Amino acid sequence: MKYNKMEKVEGYGFEDKSVIHREQVADSLWKMLQNSPYTYAELSECLGWESWKLSKVLAGDEEIGLYELTHITGALGYTFNLNYSEIKLEAILPIDYTPIDITELF
């Protein structure tokens, strides 16, 4: 089953969850930078990035992969841990969804 990134958020219609997570990551990275001894320019230089890319990442406007994320957190003196949580199927399946017993198909 393919995971649907779109989820209905009460009062807001459908939200792309990847954007929400990207903004949360950006907020965390910004706080790490503020608590580090580095300036924005120093971090950009350390990463070998143009300042516009770092700006987009810290604003949550740029998707980054795990490599970039671990590179940034490492440069700021942090480690990166990945935690998994169970997806609640009720949140991504239509209300009238009825599971199918696939053994009946053969």
- CA–CA dist 8, 91 (Å, integer): 8
Place of tokens 């198909």: 105
Question: Between β-strands 13-16 and 6-9, what pairing exists: parallel, antiparallel or unpaired?
Answer: antiparallel
Mean pLDDT of the chain: 75
Residue 16: helix, strand or coil by DSSP?
strand
Q: Is the pTM of this model over 0.85?
A: no
Distance CA 43, CA 27 (A): 16
- The whole-number pLDDT of residue 25 equals 87
User: Do residues 20 and 63 lie in contact, with contact meaning Cβ atoms separated by under 8 Å?
Assistant: no
Residue 86 has pLDDT above 50, yes or no: yes
Domain boundaries, the chain: 7-105
pLDDT of residue 14: 47
Q: Mean pLDDT lowest for which of 1-5, 52-56, 73-77?
A: 1-5
Task: Give the model confidence (pLDDT) of 35-73 as tens digits.
Answer: 999 998 999 999 999 999 999 999 988 888 888 888 999
Fold of 7-105: 434 Repressor (Amino-terminal Domain) (1.10.260)
Using a pLDDT cut of 90, give the percent of the chain over it: 33
How far is 24 from 58, CA to CA, in rounded Å?
10
